Amino acid sequence: MKLLAVVISLMLSSCLYAKQYHFGAIQGLIEQQVGQRVLPQIYQPIDINITITPLPAKRAQHLATTGKNDGEIMRIYSYGEENPNTIRIPTPYYQLETMAFVRADRNIAIKKKSDLQHFRIAKVRGVKHTNNITRGLTNVIDVDSTSQLMWLVNSGRADVALTNTLDGVIALKRLKIDSVKPCGTALATLDLYHYVHQKHQAIVPTLNQQIIKMKSSGELNKLIETAEKNAITRALRSGGTSKPLFGH
């Protein structure tokens, strides 16, 4: 019986770890670029290789929820509530802030969610944390990139751009726009979780324990710091000064 148990254990271990997983990431967002660097290093100690493809947010969600991809590298908590075909790894491994960006020469103060109803809002299409905070508002413009958000606000075609603080600041530096600033107070701070398709339920406890272990040892924080520096350097070097995709 003991031999049989060992054989079964080895077979289960082989099923868990013999695969290569493929995940989607939302393209063009700095926090997702950090995740693309950190997540493979979370999987490495448990002998799973992963590949990651940046995609439009809605496309990434569709592939993850249908099982055509193995999941998404990072999303907020409510993503799991909205997509029951995915499983949230219980321990978050990163965070983002929902920040309002406005022209510095306008007297606009955004300190809480309810303040948004008075202004024209721009956000990146399909991003959950900005979808959630603008739910019920009718004055919302969806665009394809953070750069487009900043061009809209800079040109006066939108009053407020909503995005992750770091993502917005990097976009402004890259575009050399100094007339748009963050409001200063984040509207929300949200944990980011890794999601796998429900067919991979067996890997969830092992992966969660690995995140906990790396957090406790300080290794995860070091990986994140390095990944942030690399992502910021890469973003600033990339230029990204192309004009927005809007008519005059």
| CA proximity to 70, closest of 82, 87, 83, 84 | 87
Cβ 68 vs Cβ 133: under 8 Å? no
Longest dimension (CA), the chain: 76
In angstroms, the CA 55 to CA 68 distance is 13
In angstroms, the CA 148 to CA 152 distance is 6
What digits encode the pLDDT tens for the residues 52-69?
Answer: 999 999 999 999 999 999
Torsion-angle region of 227 (φ positive above 0: left; ψ -120 to 50: alpha; else: beta) = alpha
In angstroms, the CA 62 to CA 153 distance is 30
What digits encode the pLDDT tens for the residues 83-140?
Answer: 999 999 999 999 999 999 999 999 899 999 999 999 999 999 989 999 999 999 999 9
Tell me the pairing of strands 121-124 and 160-164. parallel
| CA proximity to 89, closest of 16, 12, 198 | 198
Structure tokens at 169: 């600041």
Task: Tokens 């693309």: give the residue.
Answer: 36
pLDDT for 236 equals 83
